[in-house]
Structure 1
Amino acid sequence: MVSLEGGIIINNRKKEELIQLLELHKIWLDSLGLEGKKLVLDEVKLTEVDLIKYPLNQAYITDCIFNNMHLINIEMFSSTICSSSFMFANLENADFYKADVSYANFTNANLQNTRFAKSDCIETIFNSANLSDAKLVAALFDYADFRNANLQNADVSESTFENVLLKGAKLTGVRGLEEAFIKSINIGTPEQPNILIGGEARKWLEVMSN
């Protein structure tokens, strides 16, 4: 198999096989696991497949490429999507509820009104992403990168922030800070960190959100 940008190139035959796997996953979901087959993909480049009509919730999709795709309203809740790339993808209103998106890359993605509630975001990259009005409730953000991201009016209630990069982020109107667990944030860079801890970090966030 020939690789491209870290993913397997899908030729016509591979594309047909992938669509069959997507259909089987839909049957698996509809039958509550009694029929069909759970979707498991690793290192697959999905940019030539129309995924809009296929629910991807409860799937296992690791190190896959979704760059530049139009995935409005896509369902990926309770899925494992670790190390996958969504750079410049349109994911408005997408659902990542209880998903594991650790190490995923959402650089420059449109995540407006997307739900990441109760999701695991360890070292997830949201650099320059649009997360305005996103639902980030009760999520784990550990070493997540929100530099230059738009977090305006996002809800972070009960979420945990630890070693989170926030330099250049737009935080106006961020909601739920009083209920969030703010352990530490980095308002500098990875190379030249400026770490704020506990109450100091919370105060900075409150000021920036006003």
Structure 2
Amino acid sequence: MSELTEIRNHEEIDSIKTKRHKGCLNHPFYDWITLLSTLFVPLVVGILTIVLPLQQQNLSNRQNENSQTIAVHNRLKDMEILHDQQKQTILNTYEQDLCNLIFKYSSINNYNDTNNDGIDDDNDDERVSLVIRTKTLYALRQLDPVRKILLIQLLIDSGIKNRINLSHLDLSSLTFPPGSFYNQLNFVNIIAKNLSFKRIHLYRSNFSYSILDGSSFQQSNCSYADFSYASLQRTDWTNTDVTQVVFNYTNLLGAKITSQQLATVQSLKGATLPNGTIVAI
């Protein structure tokens, strides 16, 4: 019996050893690993063969898009520089033409002073003024806000400003440099909505018949100025000196101006006050 038992034990041990050396489906694990390795490598190569060209194509597309974006940006920048140069050329040309016209005007006046037969002064003055007005309006229509201010300053400095008619001129949304002196400025019958005249000296200036809706005169000196028949709706007069200002028939509807300020003006005849009340004539 002992020998039989020993034989059975040996058979069980051999059976266990055999099972250990066999894998799934009676194949060793080594064979399966070898098979999977053989299949995995071509699979990876195939996937990479498909994926890598797609990635390269996407990268190429992104590079092309970036190149196009940069090209468009550079083009817009070049156009902006070109437009800026054109505006500066217009201003420079206007300045040169103005100097020539002023010199010609002075020469005509000097000639008339030394010749009794002279040319009609009024006709010459009118012709020169008309030419300057035409050139001024043409230049202002094409200039940017900053250069418009420079052109107006040029007119003021040249002394020709009050000799020409600037009526119907559109100066809307301009911002004049704070602290500037524009005393006796003559802006009659102009369009200048949302104009900024903050901390500006406008002593004895004339804005009659002008449209100045939404403009700001904060902390400015507007004493003795004339705003007769002007539209000043929603204008801002905070801390503004309006001593002896003429507001005859002016529309101040919605304007920021105090009753204390209005008490210092010269006249409000027929004016529309901020609250909509019309002053009796």
TM bucket, shorter chain: 0.5 to 0.7
Residue 18 of structure 1 corresponds to which residue in structure 2? 94
TM-score (norm 1): 0.61
Aligned partner letter, 2:160: A
Residue 132 of structure 2 corresponds to which residue in structure 1? 40
What whole-Å deviation, never above 9, does each CA across 1:84-112 have from its counterpart, x for those lacking one?
22111111334432232111122111111
User: Conserved in 1, the CA contact under 8 Å of 2:175 and 2:196?
Assistant: yes
1:85-124 → structure 2 map (5 Å cutoff)? 85-93=170-178, 94-124=180-210
Aligned length: 164
- The yes-or-no answer on 1:195 pairing with 2:278 is yes
- Structure 2 Cα separation of the partners of residues 162 and 87 of structure 1: 23
Give secondary structure in 2 for the equivalent of 1:52: helix
Give secondary structure in 1 for the equivalent of 2:271: strand
Residue 37 of structure 2 corresponds to which residue in structure 1? none
If each structure's strand is expressed as a fraction of its own residues, which one has the higher value? Answer: 1
- The yes-or-no answer on 1:56 pairing with 2:155 is yes
User: Conserved in 2, the CA contact under 8 Å of 1:80 and 1:100?
Assistant: no
Larger Rg: 2
User: In structure 2, which of residues 204, 207, 222 is the aligned counterpart of residue 136 of structure 1?
Assistant: 222
- Structure 2 Cα separation of the partners of residues 78 and 148 of structure 1: 31
Identity %: 14
- Structure 2 Cα separation of the partners of residues 59 and 98 of structure 1: 13
1:41 CA drift (Å):
2.6
User: In structure 2, which of residues 221, 225, 250 is the aligned counterpart of residue 164 of structure 1?
Assistant: 250
- Structure 2 Cα separation of the partners of residues 92 and 118 of structure 1: 19
Structure 1: runs of 5 or more not aligned: 1-9, 61-76, 199-210
User: Structure 1 pair 13/88, CA: closer, same or farther in 2 (3 Å)?
Assistant: closer
Structure 2: runs of 5 or more not aligned: 1-85, 111-127
1:20 CA drift (Å):
0.8
- Structure 2 Cα separation of the partners of residues 196 and 158 of structure 1: 17
If each structure's helix is expressed as a fraction of its own residues, which one has the higher value? Answer: 2
Aligned partner letter, 1:135: N
Give secondary structure in 2 for the equivalent of 1:186: coil
- Structure 2 Cα separation of the partners of residues 86 and 138 of structure 1: 22
- Structure 1 Cα separation of the partners of residues 185 and 154 of structure 2: 14
Give secondary structure in 1 for the equivalent of 2:93: helix
Question: 1 or 2 for the larger relative contact order (CA 8 Å, sep ≥6)?
Answer: 1
1:61-80 → structure 2 map (5 Å cutoff)? none
User: Structure 1 pair 111/14, CA: closer, same or farther in 2 (3 Å)?
Assistant: closer
